[in-house]
Structure 1
Amino acid sequence: MADETNGAAAEAAPVAMKIVNQYIRDLSFENIAAQKNLGGDLKPEVNVQVNLDANKKGDNGYEVALKLNVNAKSGDQAVFVLEIDYAGLFTIENLPEEQLHPFLMIECPRMMFPFVRQIARNTTADGGFPPLNIDNIDFMQLYRGELMRRQQAAAAEAPTN
Structure 2
Amino acid sequence: MTEDQNGAAPQAPQVKMNVLTQYIRDMSFENILSRKPATGQVQPDVKVQVALDAKKRETGNQYEVLMKLTVTSNAKETAEPMFLLELEYVGLFNIEGVPDEQMHPFLLIECPRMLFPFVRRIVSDVTRDGGFPPLNLDTIDFVALYRAELQRRAAAQPAEQPLPN
Question: TM-score w.r.t. structure 2 length?
Answer: 0.87
Contact 1:33 1:39 in 2 (8 A): no
Partners of 2:161 and 2:85 lie apart in 1 by: 38
Partners of 1:78 and 1:12 lie apart in 2 by: 52
Q: Partner of 1:35 in structure 2? A: 35
Matched, 1:113 2:116: yes
Aligned residues: 157
Residue 160 (structure 1) shift: 7.8
- For structure 1, the residue ranges without an aligned partner over 5 or more in a row are none
Q: Partner of 1:95 in structure 2? A: 98
Residue 56 (structure 1) shift: 1.2
Partners of 1:83 and 1:107 lie apart in 2 by: 22
Distance 1:88 1:9, change over 3 A: farther
Give the letter aligned to residue 97 of structure 1. Answer: D
- For structure 2, the residue ranges without an aligned partner over 5 or more in a row are none
Residues 3-18 of structure 1 correspond to what in structure 2 (within 5 A)?
4=4, 12-18=12-18
Residues 1-161 of structure 1 correspond to what in structure 2 (within 5 A)?
4=4, 12-57=12-57, 58-74=59-75, 75-158=78-161
Residue 5 (structure 1) shift: 5.1
Give the letter aligned to residue 133 of structure 1. Answer: N
Partners of 1:39 and 1:16 lie apart in 2 by: 54
Partners of 2:70 and 2:97 lie apart in 1 by: 34
Residue 76 (structure 1) shift: 2.2
Give the letter aligned to residue 52 of structure 1. Answer: L
Q: Can you list the C-alpha shifts for 1:50-104, whole angstroms capped at 9, x where unaligned? A: 0101121122001101011001001221100011110100000111111110000
Whichever structure has more helix as a proportion of its residues is 1
Contact 1:56 1:62 in 2 (8 A): yes
The DSSP-based 3-state class of the residue aligned with 1:137 is coil
Q: Can you list the C-alpha shifts for 1:30-58, whole angstroms capped at 9, x where unaligned? A: 10001223353222100100010112112
Q: Can you list the C-alpha shifts for 1:88-141, whole angstroms capped at 9, x where unaligned? A: 000001111111100000000011001100100111111111110111100000
Residue 9 (structure 1) shift: 8.8
CA RMSD of aligned residues (A): 2.1
Give the letter aligned to residue 60 of structure 2. Answer: D
* Percent pairwise identity: 55
The DSSP-based 3-state class of the residue aligned with 1:37 is coil
